[in-house]
């Protein structure tokens, strides 16, 4: 079997990178807020 079928290739080219980037940005922001909260509660 080919590693990637034509249908899968088509789906891959339709990845919404803006959505992916916004999710990454959101996750990064949340983890920074969490770290900040944890660190300030240690002091």
Q: Is residue 35 part of a domain?
A: yes
Of the candidates 23, 29, 28, which has an alpha carbon nearest to the alpha carbon of residue 15? Answer: 23
The domain in which residue 17 lies consists of 6-42
Q: Is residue 17 part of a domain?
A: yes
Q: Is residue 1 part of a domain?
A: no
H-helix segments, 1-43? 6-12, 17-42
- The residue to which tokens 């088509």 are assigned: 10
Under the banding of pLDDT at 50, 70 and 90, the label for residue 39 is very high
Taking the C-alpha atoms of residue 28 and residue 16, their distance in angstroms, rounded to an integer, is 19
Predicted local distance difference test score (pLDDT) of residue 38? 93
pLDDT in tens, 15-38: 778 888 999 999 999 999 999 999
**How many domains would you assign to the chain?**
1
Predicted local distance difference test score (pLDDT) of residue 1? 59
Predicted local distance difference test score (pLDDT) of residue 2? 66
């Amino acid at each position: 079997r080919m590693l990637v079928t034509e249908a899968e290739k088509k789906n891959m080219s339709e990845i919404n990178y803006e959505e992916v980037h916004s999710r990454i940005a959101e996750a990064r922001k949340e983890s920074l807020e969490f770290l900040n909260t944890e660190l300030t509660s240690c002091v």
